[in-house]
């Protein structure tokens, strides 16, 4: 489905959009040339827009993500689409932009809610827990790490949308739980949901003792003000996992270790989006006996653990035929107009990164280079 058809379908439905947004750099590290930002509609699982920002357009590669989001929002506004919610990571500049600018000054986002993706929040917490567990005497805390992260997912999934205080209260109950206390003072969540615990002798981790260094340090991390503020904004329904899958797909079209021109990078992003949208509704594959197909993967971040994934049916590439057909139609209709459209795209390219640099005389530069190395 091409974007003009998708936008028309969304306008006709009149339903506000539930979005997820995330950025992607074109290369590893903190000095990327390009930053791409993608917006996906969660209910349809379709890419709505991709913006490619070159670092010299905004001053630095770190600013590409925010600028990409702004451009995506402007595109949605042009299409006359209203926004219901958006899920992002905890990017501070994006958070401030959505809070102070987007929801305050743009009609399409007047009632939009901004949520945080659980995986990104849990990733930040996991890093702090890992650092704590590496400290001498805190090895036992490592046994609780997986349960704590799972509790975060459980809280977001089990609390109704809009119940931020209940979400935070349920999260803080984990501090009691790790001390073998399962009844709580807060009436919003008076007792743990797990019921009576049996077979205590078979436990794989010991309860922590209140007041010990392990208990105090862990409690400080779990009840840190910044974390608690973000917990209240965990997304209850949608996450950015679809965008992470799309970013993995982009690598097939635009590998991070290969440099492309701005136009080359942009067209590869567009091809990846067309491929994703065409194949976003693939069904789970089945065996010869009609049983659903599954696979087991061992991702690096699991550190020896595994994940179970559905095996999907084979992808299709019908969008390539559509591109060729439309190109032929445009050329048959007006070759001059097609050339003008192509020229307009080229004119919209940002200046190269070296455009603001002083270019030395090549002959002098070569002479200096040869002379310098001749001395050695």
CATH domain 3-116 topology: Nucleotidyltransferase; domain 5 (3.30.420)
Quote the CA–CA distance of 103 and 87 in Å, as a whole number.
Answer: 14
Q: What is the pLDDT of residues 92-145, one digit of tens each?
A: 999 999 999 999 999 999 999 999 999 999 999 999 999 999 988 888 889 999
The pLDDT assigned to 200 comes to 64
| Domain definitions of the chain by residue range | 3-116, 119-195+204-231
Q: How confident is the model at residue 301 (pLDDT cuts 50, 70, 90)?
A: confident
**Cβ 253 vs Cβ 269: under 8 Å:** yes
Quote the CA–CA distance of 302 and 145 in Å, as a whole number.
Answer: 13
Q: Can you give the three-state secondary structure of 180-229, one letter per residue?
A: CCCECCCCCCCECCCCCCCCHHHCCCCCCCCCCHHHHHHHHHHCCHHHHH
Q: Residue 214: count other Cβ atoms within 10 Å of its Cβ.
A: 20
0.75 surpassed by pTM: yes
Q: What is the pLDDT of residues 244-280, one digit of tens each?
A: 999 999 999 999 889 999 999 999 999 999 999 999 9
Across 37-48, b (16+ Cβ under 10 Å) vs e yields bbbbbbebbbbb
Question: What would you report as the CA-atom Rg of the chain, rounded to the nearest whole angstrom?
Answer: 26
The pLDDT assigned to 374 comes to 67
How many Å from the N-terminal Cα to the C-terminal Cα in the chain? Answer: 62
The pLDDT assigned to 345 comes to 87
> Tokens 């451009």 correspond to what residue?
71
């Amino acid at each position: 489905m091409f974007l003009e058809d998708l936008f028309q379908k969304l306008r006709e439905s009149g339903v506000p959009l539930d979005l997820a947004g995330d950025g992607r750099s074109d290369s590893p590290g903190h000095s990327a040339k390009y930053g791409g930002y993608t917006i996906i509609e969660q209910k349809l699982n379709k890419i709505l827009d991709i913006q490619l920002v070159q670092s010299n357009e905004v001053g630095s590669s770190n600013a590409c993500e925010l600028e990409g989001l702004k451009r995506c929002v402007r595109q949605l506004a042009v299409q006359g689409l209203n926004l219901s919610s958006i899920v992002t990571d905890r990017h501070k500049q994006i958070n401030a932009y959505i809070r102070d600018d987007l929801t305050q000054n743009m009609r399409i986002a007047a009632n939009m809610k901004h949520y945080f993706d659980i995986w990104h929040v849990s990733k930040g917490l996991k890093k702090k827990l890992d650092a704590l567990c590496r400290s001498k005497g805190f090895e036992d805390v490592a046994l609780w790490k997986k349960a704590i992260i799972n509790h975060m997912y459980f809280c977001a999934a089990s609390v109704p949308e809009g119940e931020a205080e209940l979400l935070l209260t349920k999260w803080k109950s984990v501090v009691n739980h790790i001390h073998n206390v399962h009844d709580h003072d807060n009436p919003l969540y008076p007792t743990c949901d797990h019921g009576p615990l049996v077979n205590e002798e078979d436990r794989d981790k010991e309860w922590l003792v209140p007041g010990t260094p392990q208990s105090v340090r862990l409690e400080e991390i779990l009840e840190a003000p910044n974390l608690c503020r973000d917990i209240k904004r965990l997304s209850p329904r949608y996450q950015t996992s679809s965008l992470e899958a799309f970013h993995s797909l982009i690598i097939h079209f635009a590998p991070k270790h290969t440099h492309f021109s701005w136009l080359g990078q942009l067209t590869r992003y567009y091809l990846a989006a067309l491929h994703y949208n065409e194949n976003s509704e693939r069904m789970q594959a089945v065996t010869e006996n009609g049983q659903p197909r599954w696979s087991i993967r061992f991702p690096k971040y699991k550190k020896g653990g595994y994940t179970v994934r559905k095996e999907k049916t084979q992808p299709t590439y019908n969008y390539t035929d559509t591109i060729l057909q439309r190109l032929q139609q445009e050329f048959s209709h007006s070759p001059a107009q097609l050339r003008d459209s192509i020229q307009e795209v080229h004119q919209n390219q940002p200046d190269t990164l070296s455009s603001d640099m002083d270019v030395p005389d090549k002959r002098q530069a070569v002479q200096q280079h040869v002379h310098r190395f001749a001395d050695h």
